[in-house]
Structure 1
């Protein structure tokens, strides 16, 4: 098979050529970080924009909307059989926005137009999810009127990301659809390798590598190495994790697609008819959150596959903070996921659910979809797609929050201090970072955001990767929970001891020191979850 080095192809020009002004004089070009010395007045404007958008819009508006980035692809991607541009599917790119900052949004649009061959781009569909900011009204209408292949659709009411994407999907005319967040920068060659995977197997969801763009300096972090894959917590939140050593060794090339158990959700491409066939999005979900895990379970369990494509790179700016409330909707969304897809494993989810709600949750249509698609069960998913996922033991009486007897208002609490995961004491609230499982191997495990074990690091109690998961049990992660309620380190022989605001390791006292005694506590939660299934 002939192979050629993949470079920008003059035969297949982009949908919109990039302006030819002097790039060297512009800040932030090629993704280099930018640090500004601000006056007091400028700092005040910076703070206002930062609080409003969770992104450094003060700097972003000074960076060119057409900025050039380096080629983010690994070297293995630069030598490949030539793309058959005339056979690859025409693509509709759907971008949903709600009160997005002007500069990051416009840079997203231009990055698509500048880096997508015109022959492959059917259209760019911008879906306004009922924004209220003035710059997204007439100024945006005026801009769109000057851009090729760009359409603007405005929702008549606030729909949330999930249903707004469905509005875009309903209008899409391309054979393939690519969903992109509204604060991204596509790089050269981002679309072609995604479409190759979709063409070879139309039941594939193809995911680009998500490179980080710093929200303060707009530095582009080029992910040239092996990408992380998607995992999930038992609260059904997405998280990134490293590939297993076994799978790393089996890779033949850095260009090889990587199966991923879950997706982050912001960026992916899919055959439009296939996506409709498997049920698109759950339109009963609100705003966003949980839809990515739901799509992941459904795709794998119902005969499809999800792969990360190392030869496709898109930069993404993550907000420093949420700019609108959505916490309760997230929990309602993941309850839907648990009820439809987890089968008996949903007991693990519910034991970690920090809320109760009187909302009525009707999942009958999604269960009918699962039945129609003749999907595998969740046990099959864990065994065949994600065997690395730790399934908690949750032995009765040995999971929940661990409360101190002497200071009954405080519990063991996982917190971050100076970039380190510290286990200390804090007022009992029973939420995620206080949920602990005591395993039959005498580990104290946190698993709300990632699997980590309570670890004695010299004289400090921390949380670290669980050694037993690497078949290397460590005394520093072994704890004896006695009938008297003491928690004793196998490494030091000392007891966990609560003080006013710290957790210390001290010599165990023969007489019951109530500051060295701990008991399991479950937060009382009001209300019931009313699920119609």
Structure 2
């Protein structure tokens, strides 16, 4: 019986195949992977496995709708949405399900978030440049090629997030240093330091029951396709009487794309739509 369904909505994602391969190498339970090719075909082709289901949309429907497509087909009691450019801890799936055994199911749980060093740009002279925009070598000016290294960095290891009064996601390292936070949540009169509350999440990896996914409309298509998902998930969980928890016993690593061009987001993300999503976070969609 499948315990967990990993949902991966993807559009123009060059590392989708590597993300799936990483999952296949590290899952240890009865876990399935559902990837949604949202308006594109990957090159090279994806890894094949009886644990992998692929959905193809000839025309893009958007990240949220694609995630919901995958969730509807999920066979697991639990679903975990992840971005298509991530690496994972050995046994992440088992460790996350074990955490739900401690907390119960009225929660959303995330692993600790690390950064993924996915690739470098390398020239014929051997000069290396950390992942980012393509272009000639900054040292000698010669052409560069992409060298995939796929290294989950051990630092930072982020596990505390919030949002501000404009509903803008923020990191919250100060909170994670508080003694009352570090002792963890209380379960049956005992504090568990491996399970800690967080106000919000970043959004690239989160897990809850399939039932809660649809009960809370956790991936609402009333929002614009891209962005604001972490705040949405956190608010819907907290305001429905649940809790948002970080499982300190496991981690994933996420590749951040913030420079635009050929190292930017796969969906259109103009600032006016970002602002509209933040305003939607204030309204009836969440509250």
Q: What is the SS of the residue equivalent to 1:235?
A: coil
Higher relative contact order structure (alpha carbons within 8 Å, sequence separation ≥ 6): 2
When you count strand as a share of all residues, which structure comes out higher?
Answer: 2
1:246 pairs, out of 167, 175, 179, with 179
Alignment of 1:339 onto 2:283: yes
Q: How does 1:274-313 map to 2 (within 5 A)?
A: 274-313=212-251
Q: What is the SS of the residue equivalent to 1:191?
A: helix
Q: What is the SS of the residue equivalent to 1:152?
A: strand
Distance 1:116 1:169, change over 3 A: same
Name the CA distance, whole Å, in 2 between partners of 1:282 and 1:337: 11
2:168 pairs, out of 226, 237, 250, with 237
- Counterpart of 2:57 in structure 1 is 155
- Counterpart of 1:70 in structure 2 is none
CA displacement, residues 130-165 of structure 1 (integer Å, 9 cap, x when unaligned): 12xx644xx52xx45x32211110124222211111
How far off its partner does 1:304 sit?
0.8
How far off its partner does 1:244 sit?
4.4
The count of aligned residue pairs is 244
1:165 pairs, out of 67, 71, 84, with 67
State TM-score, norm by structure 2: 0.77
Distance 1:249 1:198, change over 3 A: closer
CA displacement, residues 189-234 of structure 1 (integer Å, 9 cap, x when unaligned): 2122211222341111110111112352654321487x43011122
CA displacement, residues 217-263 of structure 1 (integer Å, 9 cap, x when unaligned): 654321487x4301112221212111242325645999511101101
Name the CA distance, whole Å, in 2 between partners of 1:94 and 1:248: 30
Contact 1:204 1:306 in 2 (8 A): yes
Contact 2:7 2:71 in 1 (8 A): yes
1:120 pairs, out of 30, 41, 52, with 30
Contact 1:210 1:316 in 2 (8 A): yes
Q: What is the SS of the residue equivalent to 2:249?
A: strand
Name the CA distance, whole Å, in 2 between partners of 1:282 and 1:307: 21
Let me know the Cα RMSD of the aligned residues: 2.5
Name the CA distance, whole Å, in 2 between partners of 1:198 and 1:250: 18
Contact 2:7 2:33 in 1 (8 A): yes
Name the CA distance, whole Å, in 2 between partners of 1:190 and 1:127: 21
CA displacement, residues 10-59 of structure 1 (integer Å, 9 cap, x when unaligned): xxxxxxxxxxxxxxxxxxxxxxxxxxxxxxxxxxxxxxxxxxxxxxxxxx
Alignment of 1:99 onto 2:42: no
- Counterpart of 1:25 in structure 2 is none
Contact 1:299 1:306 in 2 (8 A): yes
Q: What is the SS of the residue equivalent to 2:108?
A: strand
Q: How does 1:113-512 map to 2 (within 5 A)?
A: 113-117=24-28, 119-121=29-31, 123-131=32-40, 135-136=42-43, 139-140=44-45, 143-144=46-47, 146-200=48-102, 201-214=104-117, 216=130, 218=149, 219-223=151-155, 227-242=158-173, 243-248=176-181, 250-251=183-184, 256-321=194-259, 322-323=264-265, 324-327=267-270, 328-340=272-284, 366=285
Name the CA distance, whole Å, in 2 between partners of 1:180 and 1:294: 15
Name the CA distance, whole Å, in 1 between partners of 2:224 and 2:60: 10
Distance 1:99 1:277, change over 3 A: same
Name the CA distance, whole Å, in 2 between partners of 1:188 and 1:259: 23
Q: Which runs of 5+ in 2 are unaligned?
A: 119-129, 132-148, 185-189
State TM-score, norm by structure 1: 0.43
- Counterpart of 2:145 in structure 1 is none
Distance 1:214 1:234, change over 3 A: farther
Contact 1:255 1:311 in 2 (8 A): no
How far off its partner does 1:310 sit?
1.0
- Counterpart of 1:374 in structure 2 is none
Name the CA distance, whole Å, in 2 between partners of 1:264 and 1:317: 12
Distance 1:338 1:149, change over 3 A: same
Distance 1:297 1:229, change over 3 A: same
